[in-house]
Amino acid sequence: MTSNFKRIKPSIIFTPSDESQIQAAIHCSKKHDLQIRIRGGGHDYEGLSYISETPFVIIDLRNLRSISIDTEDKTAWIQAGATLGEVYYRIAEKSKTLAFVGGVCPTVGVGGHFSGGGYGMMSRKFGTAADNIIDAKLIDANGLIHDRESMGEDLFWAIRGGGGTSFGLIISWKVKLLNIPEKVTVFNVTRTLEQNATQLVYKWQYIAHKVDDSLLLRLFLRSSQSPFRPGQRTVYAFFTTLFLGGVDELLPEMQKSFPELGLVKEDCIEMTWIKSILFFAGFPSGTPIELLPIYWKFTTNQTEFFKGKSDYVQRPISIDGLEGIWKLFNQVGENAAELQFSPYGGELSDFSESETPFPHRDGNIFMIHYSVNWEKMESSEKHLSWIRKLYQYMASYVSKSPRAAYFNYRDLDLGVNNKGNTSHAQARIWVEEKVMVHKDTEIVVTNQIGGLGNENLGANEEIQNLRQQMIKMHRAWANGLSSPSFFADNLKYFSSLPPVSHAQFPIFVDTTQYASGSTPGQEYPNTSNVHFLTPQHKTTTCSAPPTIHVFAEAPPPEAPNFEVYPPVVAPHSASEPVLNISSDQYYAPVPTFKSVGPYGYTHPPEFHPNTEKPVMTEEKEEMTKKLRSLKLAMKNLQGLGGYRSVSYKDLCMFPGVNLSLGFKMPKFEKYDGHGDPMVHLRRYCSQLRGVGGKEKLPMAYFGESLSGLASE
């Protein structure tokens, strides 16, 4: 924890046991002009639930930890004071084939974890925790209790990834439980630099987001003593994995996508899902699952210091970039620092950026979590300087404009509010420039705890009119009706704009054609990929439109191939077939040595598979792809259509529209209140026209029905 707040002790720490007591606490805090801090289970990286610079009270939800499971309806109501360990255990008590997606640490509190997103080992299959929330109970600043219906869809949208305490005090969540197999497979394979770890990490970046959705290959990186070079340090790469299925299904998938790792059956362990929670939390083999709901009681007196940060990666880090990280590892103590690479793709990419406030969707390969630990207060500056140096070094390898961060990995280095009030306008500029926490979280939600007044929300008539126009446009598009007149009236304008060559393109604006002292870019306020060839101009109007030069982006790089050594793999038993191994594909295992896993424990193999499970056939794979394609198409038909991408297959249904294979519809950036909303809409429509090279494409997009694809 690294915050610099002046430590004012809370006036009172209040631990309510029911909702009515929270309502009374809110009333009293307003009467005595005290701020409210909400503690929903702990684990806030910066400890913001119990620090303040103004008089405050803490409402500690530790007594509100009820969990109600409905196995028939496959839902659960979970109070905000419960921990993830309790949730997982109570679900497993009721069913062996139901689960919920969330983080790996059992002591994390549900209240904050769910409201900030909630990534976990099943996220490539089921998305985040927030993606699976279907209702909630919230108490507002007036002490009124709301469910999804009474709070409204805007507020319900905001609390699922936008941080719950910004809008009210969430007391419970209703979640959708998820179907899982009775057995899952886990493994933790360790490689060092002497075992080609650098090349393996490099290759991992190309495949981890593309493998089967049921497979999540997480990667942990640490620096410690080398087992091969006494007295010298090396980097350990821990490939820590969950597969929702049996080992006989996992091995062919790994051989196809990541043969260089050299995974063998002996590395894998089959177990129940609830036991995998213990495995990934670092508990020794044989730990009883009954520890999960009570483990939080034994972790409240830890005194170690910690700092965490996060990043998102959209293109693989180069070999040189990785080796730079290894050098920085040597500047901090052994095992003091760790990097987690958490893969994205799968279900995480199926949601549009605006579907929830959690914006880290398609286009992200993986998330990085940086952490450093130390024991003595006097070592704080040294370790904080180190992690900030690492974060600065990584700037050229991670997302930009903005540099994204995960809400649940709280990091006050990114910025804090003013002392006193911070206006909505000021906070908005910070969000857009500093960190990607979805812009749409500024929806109009008034009179919530810690919320903003009406005067700061920018809910002007222009935005409301645009919203109504967008709704009319979507209804016409989804029902096969003619386009609204306000759209058709401007078709001539769309047709007059120059075409572009690719959906995902950088735009280079020649600013020499602007009037002297003018500001480039006012025509492109929401377009993140516009690059101006001259950086400095004064603010005035343009006397002539600029020239737009468009270049197709280079195709994504292919997964690398590198030479490794052929292994010698003996069969596990006389009845077990020898794996088919190509001499130019696999890395030879080196002499075995004991090494701790990413959470501090060794996980020896303890399961010998004796059952056969069917391998996915080509027919089943094709059917799975078709069902997923249909699922995506149906998502495109929901809500305001302009908020989502439309696929190549969708647009090829329209007569006379010919698109190149691999076409992807440019995403629509929601109007943010700056400039003329119709100019914003026209610019997007010109992109639609340009990517297909057809003047009629915008009308087809908004004026035709996609019912044919749904029927398929």
Active site residues: 409
User: How many other C-beta atoms are found inside a 10 Å radius of the C-beta of residue 610?
Assistant: 8
Q: Give a three-class secondary structure readout of 667-704.
A: CCCCCCCCCCHHHHHHHHHHHHHHHHCCCCHHHHHHHC
Distance (Å, rounded) from C-alpha 259 to C-alpha 191? 14
All residues at 6 or more sequence positions from 591 whose CB lies less than 8 Å from its CB, including other chains: none
Q: Give a three-class secondary structure readout of 296-341.
A: HHHCCCCCCEEEEEEEEECCCCCHHHHHHHHHHHCCCCCCCEEEEE
User: How many other C-beta atoms are found inside a 10 Å radius of the C-beta of residue 708?
Assistant: 10
| Secondary structure E strands in 90-245 | 98-99, 133-139, 145-146, 169-176, 178-179, 184-192, 215-225, 233-243
- Token pair, residue 621, equals 């794979």
User: How many other C-beta atoms are found inside a 10 Å radius of the C-beta of residue 711?
Assistant: 6
Distance (Å, rounded) from C-alpha 222 to C-alpha 339? 7
Beta pairing partners, 509: 532, 548
3-state secondary structure of 176: strand
Antiparallel, parallel or unpaired: β 56-60 and 35-39: parallel
C-alpha distances in Å from residue 257, one per residue of 201, 252, 342:
14, 9, 17
Cβ-contact 451, 169 below 8 angstroms:
no
Could you tell me which of 431, 436, 398 has the C-alpha nearest to residue 415? 431
- Token pair, residue 359, equals 């914006």
DSSP type of residue 513: G
Task: List Cβ<8 Å contacts ≥24 apart for 474-479.
Answer: 474/639, 474/640, 474/641, 474/642, 476/702, 476/703, 477/641, 477/701, 477/702, 477/703, 477/704, 477/705, 477/706, 478/637, 478/641, 478/705, 478/706, 479/705
All residues at 6 or more sequence positions from 367 whose CB lies less than 8 Å from its CB, including other chains: 119, 310, 311, 312, 313, 340, 341, 342, 344, 360, 406
Q: Give a three-class secondary structure readout of 339-388.
A: EEEEECCCHHHHCCCCCCCCCCCCCCCEEEEEEEEECCHHHHHHHHHHHH
Task: List Cβ<8 Å contacts ≥24 apart for 393-396.
Answer: 393/324, 393/325, 393/328, 394/311, 394/325, 394/368, 396/321
The dihedral built from the CA positions of residue 664, 525, 130 and 275, taken in this order, carries a sign that is positive
Distance (Å, rounded) from C-alpha 246 to C-alpha 182? 9
All residues at 6 or more sequence positions from 619 whose CB lies less than 8 Å from its CB, including other chains: none
Distance (Å, rounded) from C-alpha 240 to C-alpha 187? 6
